[in-house]
Amino acid sequence: MSEEAPDLERLERLIRLVETRHLTELIVEEGGVRYVVRGTGDPGDAPPPAPTITEADGPRDARLAVQSPMVGVFFAAPSPGEEPFVQVGDSIEAGQTIGLIEAMKVFSEIPSEYAGIVDEVAVSDGELVRPGQPLLYLRHETEGEDELIGDD
């Protein structure tokens, strides 16, 4: 038999991708195996992830979570050995790339939905992420400024 047997783990990942991205059909041909996965969703119906605000001790501790829009492997830098897109303490703008997610050998830039200061990077480089999983947490630009200026 010259064709490879289907990889069940790969097939399950493709099914999850179709479900989470609300695709109607996905066809992948690789190594003599053709996967065809059909879904019922309409790509236009896929809602963006809802913003998440976590509150620790009060409103000054509120942080915004930038969430993964898809299943895949998170990469913090454009390529191995390069500086990460963002680090703790960086000021970022809405729409700025915060990392890459690789799914099925395709790398997608992940933009931040919000502007703010990176308070925490919640995932490691090379970690498998799922839709809605926080990738990093932001605090508002003005937080902490009164401590720097002082209360006179």
3-state secondary structure 59-79: HHHCEEEEECCCCEEEECCCC
pLDDT in tens, 44-101: 444 444 444 444 444 445 788 999 999 999 999 999 899 999 999 999 999 999 999 9
Residue 2 lies in a domain: no
Task: Please name the residue that has the structure tokens 């830098």.
Answer: 77
Which residue range(s) make up the domain with 75? 48-146
61 and 136 both lie in a single domain: yes
Q: Say whether pTM exceeds 0.75.
A: no
Same-domain pairing of 56 and 83: yes
- Indicate whether 76 and 124 sit together in one domain: yes
Q: In this predicted model, what pLDDT tens digit does every residue of 98-114 receive, in sequence order?
A: 999 999 888 999 999 99
Assigned domain for 3 exists: no
Same domain, residue pair 84 and 108: yes
